[in-house]
């Protein structure tokens, strides 16, 4: 493909131009030219030494003394000067203007520099004898060329002067006709006097003198051209040179120049690009260094060159999975950060992907000078710190991105956000998270006219409606770096998916694998035959409907694999088992212990974060060649494979959707490794017709979820609209809602209720809950009554609390004020236990009673305060009948609180999961949810003065829940990608602080830390440097804020006499 080279294409200015051998120096202050030494005339030796301030004028010329001593040349110059002054005296009263003013405007041009005059033309040339010729009586007002040597030998001070004069040269000029009318005009010596009077450092700006018709000729006095040449050259020789490395100067000048050129390119609507799509060439070097990317795909180039992007229009683009969509987004992000100097928000679907992206981009941030801030789980500041020097890239989950946008709107800083990038845009149609994403984008589009929105996805169908919602252009391409071949397996026959065929697929081949009767019973779906065709040479993924099925498939495959599989990378597999054992404090999953020696493992939400990360790294490096996984892997981290097998066309008990199918099979084929990718869907005879419809059907449409998720959707949106003062009347709310995806899809609403009626009902419901104040009138009354938000309403939307629980949370916090038990953090933990996990909790009553009996008397009182008496737990454990009604949600919530309480004391997920008979993945998820909810409750309390006592308590509790480790490990775990097991390794190796990590040598880390690859070591160091830089910048901002002199200091009143 044709890729732009490193050269920068610039628009030619009006007028003539000529080529320059040296790099052009832009006039911007940011890109100030680097002083260059002049080379002596006719010599290639060393440049003359820098002139000292006490030298005489004659001594400062260096090799130019030979020019001054050339009497014949100077005499010729003098003689030609007099001829010029005397010529044409019979036609006009003064000599024609000799113009050198155009010279400075031609520094960057690729054609000839010219000097225009009305009657006469003076041309300066340098030939081999260093002589000047003055040509006169030119019959035409044409442009004459100045040779290369004259300009190339100009010192930096003159270059800077010409750059400064560049802007002035573009102003109105006197026409030749006007010049003829002037009775008194400037001579060539006047022009040179102006040139020589410029300060060498370029600070003094000389403007052309206006020529009026009544100027007096008596003011004109010709001086010797020889004197002016000497004077100008003396000034040049006095130019100061910086006492810094010339190489460093040149590198900084090139980078600074490219950023300036890129900024001008991006700000204009031109399709001209800079060295690398409007970015410094260093970006291309970094992509090669960190990603191994030499060139872009053709579609990536075409997409980046779209006219809509050049004009900063919103854009949706869609390509198959693994097509390289993310790289395009990252280049656009860098353009915004470096060229337009605006902050950027990148919204990703899951916490793990946010952390992966923070790690991956930290190196770019360090090299290019921007900050990366993580907004996931309990991390993130609201509002973010306002940076004066560096710009920030906020990488956020959907929920945290929404809270961030709310804080920017509230502080009137939404215009600081130049770009919002949304990955997996199809999630707009997925439940409460889709509703939150829709609310976020609608607010951005409504409140900021300068923020660009970029959305990308592999699975979009109703693009027209999404375009209308986002007011966006659309780009699509079917490119995949590796060809994907889709197959269906029914019994022992494999069919190729063919949309042109009548049934949707055609016969391909029969499985060639000899099955014994025992194996046929154990593996009726022939999974062994399918995987052994590719492993261990290539990698394979098996998507299973349930978590339990993942573990069963992994165990079954290993039972019938040949023992030769164990010999491959045996030491690395043993190291992986040791690593998992250390993560579990001596415990390791028996299934993994059985399967890993064969290069096989399972991957689902039942694993802890540390376990998942270790298995993903082992698979990426080839230690593991087969993963049995759930559908969540398809939308999570990028783990491609040569072959992808779908165990059944189901996710849990639900039949597979086309979007899910495309996401799963999109993992097949690894760019740069495989020349093809394969997907095989295993189908039972009973599902054959459903699968035919699946492979031939279009992708599902993306529909608004604002109404389906009422408390997290519509009501949440209405509350924040009034709270942020985006819309405070029924009419304004109606106008806003028409700009949402729901507004675009109004035709899908039932005929019984219009969108306006739904809005009216929602506002009335919020007023009834005490979250809003005001009145909603009927249609025939005034609809402009202003709505206001109550303190409870403000606390609810700022804390991102589900409206279904906000009143309950308020009552429980209020009750806690009357008797908060602070002997331990049990009572506080109960208030921070998430409501939405109680429905999935099924307490073991014997464990419940045992944990209750282990509490102190004061802690047992907490159970009674929240509404779970000891008698209730005892009767449940003994199986007795319960007469007194007890709220099951409260009972379940207290049980989860016991889990968290034990976890904070023991800080070991394995032991806690065994103690409560729960999967360790469930305990991990509970911990993550509790940390996030504690952060929300903290923000809720910050808005209500009566809850001031909770602020300090919840701040510390949030930190404990976020990391759940010993205090000394917390600084290390703040670094993106460093989990507990790795933090322990680093701490034991002597890396005990963030500064230790930020200044670590990756090569030494690899040698000192077990199971740490060089790539991981570099990412950890880069992430630590980025976090340290971000913290230092925040402190510096605070210092500057403290030291800033207020602008409103009272002044002494004027005394009236």
pLDDT at 73: 52
Q: Which of 8, 625, 580 is closest to 284 using CA atoms?
A: 8
- Higher confidence at residue 147 or residue 989? 989
pLDDT at residue 1044, rounded to an integer = 85
Q: 857-866 vs 870-878: helix axis angle to the nearest 10?
A: 90
Give the pLDDT score at 42: 40
Share of the chain above pLDDT 70, in %: 73
Span 232-250, average pLDDT: 58
Residue 519 pLDDT > 70, yes or no? Answer: yes
Among 150-164, 463-477, 578-592, whose mean pLDDT is lowest? 150-164
User: How would residue 175 be classed by pLDDT, with cut points 50, 70 and 90?
Assistant: very low
- Quote the DSSP letter at residue 414: G
Q: How confident is the model at residue 127 (pLDDT cuts 50, 70, 90)?
A: very low
Contacts of 1012 (CB under 8 A, 6+ apart): 982, 985, 1005, 1006
Q: Are 170 and 105 in contact (CB under 8 A)?
A: yes
What pLDDT score does 628 carry?
Answer: 96
User: What is the distance between the alpha carbons of residues 262 and 239, in angstroms, rounded to a whole number?
Assistant: 30
Report d(CA 1014, CA 1021) in Å as an integer: 11
More confident residue, 690 or 205: 690
Sign of the C-alpha dihedral computed for residues 48, 54, 55 and 60 taken in this order: positive
Among 49-63, 124-138, 456-470, 742-756, the range with the most confident prediction by mean pLDDT is 456-470
pLDDT at residue 96, rounded to an integer: 41
Residue 738 banded pLDDT, cuts 50, 70, 90: very high
Q: Look at residue 128 and tell me whether its pLDDT is greater than 60.
A: no
**pLDDT tens, position by position, 326-368:** 999 999 999 999 999 999 999 999 988 999 999 999 999 999 9
Cα(26)–Cα(301) distance, integer angstroms:
27
Q: Please, which pLDDT band fits residue 197 given cuts at 50, 70 and 90? A: very low
pLDDT band at 785 (very low <50, low <70, confident <90, very high): confident
**Is residue 392 over pLDDT 80?**
yes
> Secondary structure of the chain: what % helix, strand, coil (to 5)?
50, 10, 40
Task: Kindly tell me if the per-residue pLDDT of 697 is higher than 60.
Answer: yes
pLDDT for 18 equals 38
| Joined tokens for residue 610 | 């540390």
Per-residue pLDDT, 112: 40
Span 432-449, average pLDDT = 96
What's the gap between Cα 724 and its chain centre? 26
Give the model's confidence band at 783: pLDDT under 50 very low, under 70 low, under 90 confident, else very high: low
For the stretch 884-908, pLDDT in tens is 788 999 999 999 999 999 999 988 8
Most confident of 137-151, 181-195, 741-755: 741-755
Helical residues (DSSP H) of 369-476, grouped into ranges: 398-410, 431-447, 463-470
Nearest of 302, 252, 256, 300 to residue 275 by alpha carbon: 256
Q: Which residues does residue 641 pair with via DSSP β-bridges, in sequence order?
A: 668
Q: Cα(963)–Cα(956) distance, rounded to whole angstroms?
A: 11
Mean pLDDT of 664-673: 84
What is the model's pLDDT at position 123? 37
How far the first Cα of the chain sits from its last, in Å, is 82
Q: Assess contact for 668 and 677: CB atoms under 8 A.
A: yes
The confidence score (pLDDT) of residue 163 equals 52
Q: Does the structure show a pLDDT above 90 at 477?
A: yes
Lowest-pLDDT range of 191-200, 557-566, 574-583, 828-837: 191-200
Query: Could you give the CA distance from residue 809 to residue 835 in angstroms, rounded to a whole number?
Result: 9
Of the two residues 166 and 496, the one the predictor is more confident about is 496
Quick one: pLDDT at residue 947? Answer: 95
CA distances (Å), 186 to each of 96, 212, 299, 856, in order? 8, 11, 58, 100
| Tokens, residue 824 | 């331990």
**Cα 419 vs. chain centroid, distance in angstroms?**
9
pLDDT tens track for 604-652: 988 998 899 899 999 999 999 999 999 888 877 778 899 999 999 999 8
Q: Which residue has the tokens 């949600």?
A: 889
The tens digit of pLDDT for each residue in 821-845 reads 989 999 999 999 999 999 989 999 9
- pLDDT at residue 99 tops 70: no
pLDDT band for 8, please (50, 70, 90 cuts).
Answer: very low
pLDDT at 422: 97
More confident position, 1045 or 202? 1045
């Amino acid at each position: 493909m044709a890729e732009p080279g490193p050269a920068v294409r610039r628009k030619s200015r009006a007028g003539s131009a000529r080529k320059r051998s040296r790099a052009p120096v832009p006039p911007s202050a940011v890109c100030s030219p680097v002083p260059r030494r002049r080379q002596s005339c006719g010599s290639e030796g060393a440049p003359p030494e820098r002139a000292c301030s006490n030298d005489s004028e004659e001594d400062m010329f260096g090799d130019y003394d030979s020019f001054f001593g050339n009497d014949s040349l100077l005499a010729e110059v003098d003689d030609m000067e007099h001829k010029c002054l005397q010529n044409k005296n019979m036609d006009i009263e003064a000599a024609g203007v000799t113009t050198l003013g155009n010279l400075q405007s031609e520094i960057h041009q690729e054609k000839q520099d010219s000097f225009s005059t009305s009657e006469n033309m003076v041309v300066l040339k340098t030939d081999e004898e260093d002589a000047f010729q003055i040509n006169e009586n030119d019959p035409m007002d044409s442009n004459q060329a100045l040779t290369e040597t004259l300009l190339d030998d100009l010192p930096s001070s003159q270059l800077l002067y010409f750059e400064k004069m560049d802007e002035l040269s573009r102003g109105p000029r006197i026409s030749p006709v006007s010049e003829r009318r002037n009775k008194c005009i400037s001579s060539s010596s006047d022009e040179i006097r102006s040139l020589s009077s410029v300060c060498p450092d370029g600070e003094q700006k000389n403007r052309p003198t206006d020529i009026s018709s009544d100027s007096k000729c008596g003011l004109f006095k010709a001086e010797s051209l020889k004197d002016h040449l000497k004077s100008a050259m003396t000034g040049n020789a006095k130019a100061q040179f910086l006492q810094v490395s010339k190489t460093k100067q040149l590198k900084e000048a090139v980078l600074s120049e490219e950023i300036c050129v890129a900024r001008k390119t991006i700000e204009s609507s031109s399709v001209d690009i800079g060295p690398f799509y409007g970015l410094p060439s260093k970006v291309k070097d970094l992509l090669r260094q960190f990603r191994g990317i030499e060139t872009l795909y053709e579609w990536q180039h075409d997409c980046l060159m779209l006219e809509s992007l050049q004009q900063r229009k919103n854009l949706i683009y869609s390509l198959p999975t693994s097509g390289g969509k993310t790289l395009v987004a990252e280049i656009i992000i860098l353009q915004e950060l470096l060229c337009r100097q605006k902050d950027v928000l990148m919204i990703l679907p899951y916490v793990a992907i946010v952390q992966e992206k923070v790690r991956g981009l930290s190196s770019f941030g360090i090299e290019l000078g921007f900050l990366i801030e993580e907004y996931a789980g309990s991390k993130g500041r609201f509002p973010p710190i306002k940076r004066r020097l560096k710009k920030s890239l906020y990488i956020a989950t959907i929920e945290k991105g929404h809270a961030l946008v709310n804080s920017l709107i509230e502080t009137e800083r939404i215009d600081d956000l130049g770009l919002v990038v949304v990955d997996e845009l199809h999630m707009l149609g997925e439940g409460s998270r889709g509703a939150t994403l829709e609310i976020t984008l609608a607010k951005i589009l409504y409140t900021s006219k300068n923020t660009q929105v970029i959305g990308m996805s592999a699975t979009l169908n109703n693009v027209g409606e999404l375009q209308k919602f986002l007011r966006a252009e659309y780009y699509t391409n079917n490119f995949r770096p590796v060809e994907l071949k889709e197959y269906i397996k029914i019994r022992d026959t494999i069919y190729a998916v063919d949309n042109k065929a009548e049934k949707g697929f055609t016969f391909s081949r029969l499985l060639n694998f000899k099955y014994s009767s025992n194996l046929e019973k154990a593996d009726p779906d022939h999974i062994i035959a399918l995987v052994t065709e590719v492993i261990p040479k290539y990698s394979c993924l098996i998507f299973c409907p349930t978590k339990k099925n993942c573990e069963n498939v992994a165990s079954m495959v290993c039972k019938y694999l040949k023992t030769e599989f164990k010999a491959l990378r045996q030491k690395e597999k043993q190291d992986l088992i040791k690593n998992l054992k250390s993560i579990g404090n001596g415990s390791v999953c028996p299934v993994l212990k059985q399967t890993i020696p064969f290069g096989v493992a399972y991957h689902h939400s039942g694993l802890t974060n540390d376990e998942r990360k270790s298995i993903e790294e082992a698979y990426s490096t080839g230690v593991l060649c087969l993963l049995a996984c759930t559908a969540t892997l398809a939308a999570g981290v990028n783990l491609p494979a040569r072959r992808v097998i779908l165990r059944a066309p189901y996710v849990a008990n639900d039949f597979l959707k086309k979007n899910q199918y495309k996401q799963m099979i999109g993992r097949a084929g690894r760019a740069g490794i495989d020349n093809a990718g394969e997907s095989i869907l295993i189908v039972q005879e009973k599902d054959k017709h459903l699968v035919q419809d699946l492979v031939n059907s279009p992708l599902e449409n993306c529909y608004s979820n604002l109404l389906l998720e009422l408390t997290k959707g519509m009501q949440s949106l209405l509350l924040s609209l009034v709270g942020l003062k985006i819309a405070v009347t029924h009419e304004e709310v109606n106008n806003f809602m028409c700009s949402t995806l729901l507004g675009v899809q109004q035709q899908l609403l039932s005929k019984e209720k219009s969108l306006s009626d739904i809005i009216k009902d929602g506002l009335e419901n919020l007023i009834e809950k005490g979250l809003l104040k005001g009145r909603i009138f009927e249609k025939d009354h005034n609809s402009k009554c202003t709505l206001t938000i109550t303190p409870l309403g403000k606390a609810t939307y700022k804390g991102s609390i589900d409206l279904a629980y906000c009143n309950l949370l308020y009552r429980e916090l209020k009750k806690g004020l009357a008797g908060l038990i602070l002997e331990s953090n049990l009572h506080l933990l109960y208030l921070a236990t998430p409501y939405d996990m109680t429905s999935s909790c099924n307490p073991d009553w014997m464990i419940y009673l045992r944990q209750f009996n282990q509490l102190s008397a004061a802690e047992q009182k907490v159970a009674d305060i929240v509404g779970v008496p000891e008698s209730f737990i005892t009767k449940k454990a003994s199986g007795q009948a319960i007469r007194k009604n007890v709220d099951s949600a409260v009972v379940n919530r207290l049980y989860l609180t016991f889990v968290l309480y034990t976890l904070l004391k023991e800080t070991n997920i394995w032991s806690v999961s065994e103690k409560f008979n729960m999967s360790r993945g469930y305990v991990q998820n509970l911990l993550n949810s509790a940390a996030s909810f504690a952060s929300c409750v903290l923000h809720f309390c910050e808005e209500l003065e009566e809850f001031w006592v909770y602020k300090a308590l919840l701040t510390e509790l949030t930190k404990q829940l976020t990391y759940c480790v010993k205090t000394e490990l917390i600084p290390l775990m703040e670094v993106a990608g460093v989990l507990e097991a790795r933090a322990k390794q680093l701490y034991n190796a002597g890396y005990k602080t963030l500064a230790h990590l930020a200044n670590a040598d990756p090569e030494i880390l690899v040698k000192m830390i077990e199971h740490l690859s060089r790539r991981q070591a570099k990412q950890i160091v880069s992430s630590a440097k980025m976090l340290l830089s971000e913290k230092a910048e925040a402190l510096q901002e605070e210092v500057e804020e403290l030291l800033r002199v207020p602008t409103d200091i009272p002044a002494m009143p004027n005394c009236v006499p």
